[in-house]
């Protein structure tokens, strides 16, 4: 949980900067991110640094370029039985492989930010066996984002920074015990954006 909180906090405090955090050069408003797999931090970078890290040019070290792949799965990637096995207390969660921990991680947005949930390796292996697309997730920088609300089942492959953006939106808008109407509007708006960006894909 502390690592997830550091990543979320770093994302919130660095996006306002105007210098690339990798080379120190100018940073455009529509900039990209790289993930430090050791510290679990997101860094704001210029297009040149992002391209170099994405293609493997230069010295990567612990940094990995966050891609911009958005895919909406036509069929749910996780069955009701698998979701119950994960014991996630809310209807939204994202799953990714963490290289530092050498295992897959489940996290969900909450009033405190992104909260990690225990992930049964057996249950997650079942998801990977049933969904070839889930096996293509780039470690540390891509996630399977799942929403289950009001009987609806939606699954997306998204960049990891999108997941922490959603967690940040929910934390900022949360009020009272259940989050309040502003949180629900924020969630609906975010997933509408995902649908616009995504290409429908059968898992």
- Please tell me the distance from the alpha carbon of residue 125 to that of residue 114, in angstroms, as a whole number: 23
With a cut of 50, say whether residue 14 has pLDDT above it.
no
Average pLDDT, the chain: 83
Could you read off the pLDDT of 147-172 as tens digits, one per residue?
Answer: 998 778 899 999 999 999 999 999 88
* pLDDT on residue 15: 44
Evaluate if pTM is beyond 0.85: no
Q: Which of 135, 103, 138 is nearest to 121 (CA)?
A: 103
pLDDT grade for 115, boundaries at 50, 70 and 90: confident
Asked if residues 156 and 144 have their Cβ atoms less than 8 Å apart, the reply is yes
Q: What is the mean pLDDT of residues 176-189?
A: 83
User: In this structure, is the dihedral angle defined by the CA atoms of residues 183, 184, 186 and 187, taken in order, positive or negative?
Assistant: positive
Per-residue confidence (pLDDT) for residue 82, from 0 to 100 = 87
Domain range annotation of the chain: 2-65, 71-201
> What pLDDT was estimated at residue 162?
95
Rounded to 5 degrees, φ, ψ at 25 are: -75, 180
What letter would DSSP give residue 178? Answer: T
* pLDDT at residue number 13: 38
């Amino acid at each position: 949980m502390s690592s997830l909180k550091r990543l979320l906090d770093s994302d919130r405090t660095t996006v306002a900067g105007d210098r690339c955090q990798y080379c120190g050069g100018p940073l455009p408003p529509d900039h990209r991110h790289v993930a430090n797999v050791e510290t679990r931090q997101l860094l704001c970078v210029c297009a040149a640094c992002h391209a170099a890290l994405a293609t493997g040019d230069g010295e990567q070290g612990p940094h990995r370029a966050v891609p911009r792949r958005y895919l909406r799965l036509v069929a749910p990637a996780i069955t009701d039985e698998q979701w119950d096995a994960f014991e996630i207390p809310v209807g939204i969660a994202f799953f990714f492989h963490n290289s530092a921990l050498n295992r897959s991680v489940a996290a969900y947005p909450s009033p405190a930010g992104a909260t990690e949930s225990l992930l049964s390796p057996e249950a997650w292996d079942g998801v990977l066996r049933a969904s070839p697309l889930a096996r293509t997730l780039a470690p540390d920088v891509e996630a399977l984002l799942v929403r289950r609300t009001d009987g609806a089942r939606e699954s997306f492959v998204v960049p990891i920074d999108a997941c922490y953006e959603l967690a940040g939106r929910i934390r900022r808008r949360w009020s009272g015990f259940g989050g309040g109407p502003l949180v629900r509007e924020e969630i609906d708006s975010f997933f509408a954006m995902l649908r616009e960006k995504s290409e429908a894909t059968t898992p």
